Amino acid sequence: MKNNDLVFSGFDKISVDEIEEDMLHLSPKIASGDNRFLMNDEEKIEVIENHFRGIMKALGLDLNDDSLKGTPKRVAKMFVEEVFSGLNEKNKPEITLFENKYQYNKMLVERGITLFSYCEHHFVPIIGKVHVAYISKGKVIGLSKINRLVQYYAKRPQVQERLTVQIAEGLKKAIGTEDVAVLIDAVHLCVASRGIKDTNSSTITANYSGKFINEETKNEFLNLIR
């Protein structure tokens, strides 16, 4: 047996070299540099399915079981098409802007946006709420687009600090204003379901820019989301 062969009790031998050759066969382009966007979704699903099948075998699971045999494909499709779809720029929402005809120059707050993301350290969920506010400089954004922008950045392996900044920067770029505030309050299952197993704590991060750096404006935002 070669050093790079993996053997699981009760299962066929799996060669790491064979897996790598299979990946190259699926898409020769992945041999160079960052390949996240060089493979199409079908190719990504096939590669992830093969690797996850190996993980399940390593855990000693019987992939002939009716309940388990379809799991590698299900997980691969979930990763690519759902929970990590934000890694693909083609899924970035198109932003619809409207003229601020009513000359509304106060803050607009979208609070309680549902957050589902995944911790990049352990690949377990981050669950919480996102609160966003902005002050128009002539354009207003369709309200659902704020939610979609949040979900786009959330649907990738994340750390909460980075996610907070990405949402703020994405909104500033979309609307054309620096007057943006973002606050996230979330529970990390890497804390709640493993390790310290603390189910009572949550993590809060915030990003303020433009007029929201002013304490009075910031406090108005915080009072509104409460």
Catalytic residue list:
119-122, 160, 188, 190
In angstroms, the CA 132 to CA 181 distance is 6
Q: Please report, for residues 22, 55, 94, 204, 214, the alpha-carbon distance to residue 179 in angstroms, rounded to integers and kept in the order given.
A: 49, 46, 21, 20, 10
Q: Could you give the CA distance from residue 105 to residue 124 in angstroms, rounded to a whole number? A: 40
DSSP H or E segment with residue 137: none
User: Alpha helices, DSSP H only, in 59-90?
Assistant: 71-78
**In a 10 Å sphere around its CB, with 0-12 CB exposed, 13-18 middle and 19+ buried, how is residue 128 labelled?**
buried
* Residue 30, φ and ψ in degrees, nearest 5: -75, -5
